[in-house]
Amino acid sequence: MSPRSASVNEELRRRSRERLLQAAVELVGERGYDATTLGDIADRAGSARGLVSYYFPGKRQLVQSAVHRLMHRTLEEALEREPRTEDGRERMARAIDAILGLARDRPVLMRQHMAGILQAEGFMQCPEQRRLAELLRDTMVRHGTPDVDSDYPMMRALLMGSVYAALVPGVPMPVPVLRAELFKRYRLDWELGLPPETGARGGRGDKDLSRFFATGAAPECGPPDQSK
């Protein structure tokens, strides 16, 4: 049997990494962060346990990358769904609804993600997070911001704060209330995006996440840098 080509090996590595990301999202969403081990993730992904450390420095980095992938692809799907539009206000509304929708529909996963960001390791940079940031920055530009370098960090902070407020145990704020405040800030009409009363794609009943974890090759997560 002839040895596999470099391109075949690269594709196999990509698929292995994708399976680990998907397994991390599924298991943390089902069990929580502490009850999920790297061995559990490797087993769910059908991968050798040593491969986890090959791709990711540790469990926290793996889980953050996995959640950022889910956020990036959920946002991408919302922005590109039919009818497609280049209207900046509609795209801003879709972006807000996509992120708030994850807090509403996947509370365990998103609560664990927010808690992880507040740990000593803090916010970690990886390819998935950078893709998410690029999409959000582009949304700000299309919405008409005159200064994306200042306005994007504020939008990110407002979205993170809203997700946190929606997930506080015992005293969560209703997503429609948070949505109304964000829509007011960005001067968006309530009927834009995906209003709560219309229902949401990818909600609690959507168990198959495979479409979010089948993209092109991506480099491994590296050490954090200062750009976000």
For residue 226, pLDDT over 90 is answered with no
Per-chain mean pLDDT for the chain: 86
- Given this model, what pLDDT does residue 218 score? 41
The pLDDT confidence band at residue 118, using thresholds 50, 70 and 90, is confident
pLDDT over 90 (residue 146): yes
pTM: 0.84
Check residues 124 and 105 and name the one with the higher pLDDT. 105
Between CA 8 and CA 19 the distance in angstroms is 17
Of 51-65, 160-174, 200-214, the poorest mean pLDDT is in 200-214
- Digit-coded pLDDT (tens) for 92-111: 999 999 999 999 999 999 99
Which tops the pLDDT comparison, 221 or 78? 78
Contact 203, 182 (CB under 8 A): no
- List, for residues 8-39, the tens digit of each pLDDT value: 667 767 788 899 999 999 999 999 999 999 99
CA pair distance 111, 105, nearest whole angstrom: 11
For 172-225, the pLDDT digits (tens) are 999 999 999 999 999 999 999 999 876 544 444 467 788 888 755 443 444 344
**Spatial CA neighbour of 23 closest among 66, 53, 56:** 66
The SS3 call for residue 15 is helix
CA 76, chain centre distance (Å): 10
The pLDDT of residue 1 = 52
- Please state, in angstroms and rounded to a whole number, the distance separating the CA atoms of residues 130 and 146: 22
Among residues 74, 77, 63, which one has the least CA distance to residue 21? Answer: 63
Residues of the chain with pLDDT > 90, as a percent, come to 67
pLDDT above 70 coverage of the chain, percent: 86
- Top pLDDT among 11 and 156 is at 156
Residue 102 contacts by C-beta under 8 Å, 6 or more apart in sequence?
A: 70, 71, 74, 109, 110, 163
